[in-house]
Amino acid sequence: AKALGRNTYSFFTEEMNAIMRRRFAIEEQMHTALARNEFTIHYQALFDVQTQNISGAEALLRWHNATLGQVTPDEFIPIAEHTGLIVPIGKYVIKQALVFLNEWQNIDQQKYSISVNLSPRQLRDATLIDLIKDALQDANISPESLQLEITEGVLMTGQAYIQEALTNISDLGIKLGMDDFGTGYSSLSYLRQYPFDVLKIDRSFIYGIALNKADCDLVKATIAMSHSLGLTVVAEGVETQEQLHLLNELGCNFAQGYYFAKPLPANQLLDFSASKKKK
Ligand code: C2E
Ligand code: CA
Ligand code: CA
Ligand code: CA
């Protein structure tokens, strides 16, 4: 038993060492990643549930590094947030996404929306609002076409600067989306307290809607509540025809997920969009 204990101990130590080393390497590499042009943005199309036409896309960050390989956002975003590097990286995403939207709208001769994820640290940045204004102007995009998404966790701290930043964003005419709805705490009061326009139901709830009644009822109630508050509803992680069919019956406005399209590099999304239009 003693030997086993020691092995277990050293196993955990090695495991922890590996995790710490990787974290350290990510942090180190991230400092110069922007300058080396290692970040790209993928775009996942968003669909109108009723018409099944593309209504816009969400910008999702991708990072490929020579020593680390592909690093997922779930791994590097929290570190970027912690170090503050999310501020310059986030700026890059906002600028690029708006330039892309302009190109996309010009090619398709149609209006689309673009969603960009915001981290709490970015809301604390005093230059955020001016940066967004400039980026909108430079790309010739109207504020209503931009949607900024934040998760409930951001609101939990209840800090004054959050209310202020969100109000400023909303006053510009930019859309505010609550991301991953249902995964945090006491979300309902936030919907009244902050100027949200859109609610995105987390994919963990969408997963079960065609499988069990409880999940279906929960999503049904969420949609009804959102609509009564004047919010538009997006379902995340739609993977099957059955889910889409149910969401249509429940009156969900928009849907996003592998059933329609995975996040794609910019040029591939343009091709995908063009192929949908020709139908
Ligand atoms: P999110 O904002 O909830 O983005 C949706 C995630 O779900 C994406 O993961 C997307 O690839 C994935 N997804 C989409 N459809 C499906 C589906 O049908 N099934 C399944 N299983 N998954 C689906 P991704 O790209 O790995 O991004 C993870 C998270 O990283 C995002 O979650 C977002 O919170 C964060 N993130 C990504 N880009 C940025 C960014 O530019 N800034 C910030 N602050 N966060 C970002
Ligand atoms: Ca999102
Ligand atoms: Ca989400
Ligand atoms: Ca998520």
Helices (H), 39-85: 73-83
Distance CA 228, CA 131 (A): 33
The closest-lying atom of ligand 1 relative to the alpha carbon of residue 263 is 11
Structure tokens, 47:
């669909």
Can you give the pLDDT at residue 1?
A: 45
| Coil, strand or helix at 114 | strand
C-alpha 233 to ligand 4 mean position (Å):
16
Q: Which residue has the tokens 């001016």?
A: 130
Q: Which of 117, 101, 155, 112 is nearest to 254 (CA)?
A: 112
- State the pairing for strand pair 254-255/39-48: antiparallel
Please report the atom of ligand 1 found closest to the CA of residue 60: 38
Please identify every residue whose CB atom is under 5 Å from ligand 2, which is an ion.
117, 149, 179
Query: Ligand 1 — pocket residues by CB below 6 A?
Result: 44, 60-61, 72-74, 77, 90, 93, 117-119, 179-180, 203, 237-239, 256-258, 263
Regions of the chain where pLDDT drops below 50: 1-2
Model confidence pLDDT, tens digit, residues 37-87: 999 999 999 999 999 999 999 999 999 999 999 999 999 999 999 999 999
Rounded-to-integer distance, Cα 234 and Cα 77, Å: 23
Cβ atoms of 258 and 92 within 8 Å: the answer is no
Backbone angles phi, psi at 227, to 5 degrees: -65, -40
